[in-house]
Amino acid sequence: MSPAASLGREDLLLVEIDRFQGPMDLLLHLIRQQDINIFDIPIARITKQFLLAIEGMGQMELDSAGEFIEMAATLVRIKAQMLLPQTPGEEDEDPRAELVRRLLEYEQIREITDRMERSEADRARRFRKGYLPVRPAPAQEDLPLETTWGEVFQAALEVRNPEPHGGDHWVRLRPISMEEKVDLILDTLRRVSRIEFRGLLAPFREKMHGVMTFLAGLELSRRRRIRMRQTAPFHELWVYLREDEGEGSAEEKTPRNAEEETVAGADGAHSSEEGT
């Protein structure tokens, strides 16, 4: 709570800007806090308060500052429009109408968000079956093996003699890019919640795939996109998608800050997604 805000009576606002998820959140807060009639917003006052609140935003990320400034501009414009004399006979809408509509909409979203958060918490108290591999049917040895010696022998003939010096002849030279592996990991994790690291390698034979997948894994954890977990040394290495804020404990949830926007915004730069 900014001590500076406790000066004027009508500007008596308890605003700490980075508590807010964005300009709509801030606006909603101002209106709720002062018990303002949504259908009759004192636009001059709110504009003043809004500007005051975002004054100290210098240290904020430029992106989100821009969003607040955009809203400030909208407020100022509405204020100006309200000062214009109304042309008689013209069915002009109240300049505030759109803002009101957005506020109501946003408020409802916030309410829904809270409900969903509760559902999420309830669901988190239930645990699904831990992943355990399906037990194989009784002795696999009893399955008829169709492989013939001819096949084995053919494979033997194709074995390459390793050269005693230098290992580079092993690398069959198809370039394998790390980005390709990054995509593989993310694509896979989009389908399943987590995967054993070696599952990512399973389809590939060359060691270079292993190296690049591993590097991609490191890169993704550096980008904070994935998390890797091992239950014990030398056990399987599990790869998970990382959440923006990790496991939301109670204390983490209270301050709703704009952090994710920042982090995620940076991520967005790598994105090949549709631009604007």
Partner 1 sequence: MRQEQIVEAVLFASDAPLSAEEIARADEVLDEDAVGEAIRTLRVQYQEQERAFELVEVAEGYQILTKPEFAPYLERFDTVPRSSRLSGPSLETLAIIAYRQPIDRLEIEYIRGVGAVGVIRTLQDRGLIEAVGRGEGIGRPLLYGTTRRFLEHFGFASLEGLPRPEDLPIVLRDRAAPIQREAAPSIDDGLGDDLFALDTGGSNGQPAGEPSVEEDELNE
Q: Shortest gap between Cβ of 56 and partner 1 (angstroms)?
A: 18
Residue 70 is inside which H or E element, if any? helix 62-83
Residue from 170, 177, 179, 183 that binds partner 1 (CB under 8 A)? 170
Residue from 62, 88, 149, 251 that binds partner 1 (CB under 8 A)? 149
233 interacts with partner 1 by CB under 8 A? yes
Q: Shortest gap between Cβ of 14 and partner 1 (angstroms)?
A: 18
175 interacts with partner 1 by CB under 8 A? no
Measured N-to-C along each axis, helices 23-33 and 62-83 cross at an angle, to the nearest 10 degrees, of 50
Distance CA(36)–CA(265), nearest Å, equals 34
Closer by beta carbon to partner 1, 3 or else 274 = 274
Distance CA(158)–CA(152), nearest Å, equals 10
Q: How many residues bind partner 1 (CB under 8 A)?
A: 151
Calculate the alpha carbon distances from 182 to 84, 96, 170, 249 in Å.
56, 47, 23, 29
Distance CA(104)–CA(107), nearest Å, equals 5
Residue from 3, 62, 168, 251 that binds partner 1 (CB under 8 A)? 168
251 interacts with partner 1 by CB under 8 A? no
- 103-132 binders of partner 1 (CB under 8 A): 103-113, 115-117, 119-132
101 interacts with partner 1 by CB under 8 A? yes
List, as own/partner pairs, every contact residues 250-253 make where C-beta atoms lie below 8 angstroms and the sequence separation is at least 24, other chains included.
Answer: 253/117
- 178-197 binders of partner 1 (CB under 8 A): 186, 189-191, 193-194, 196-197
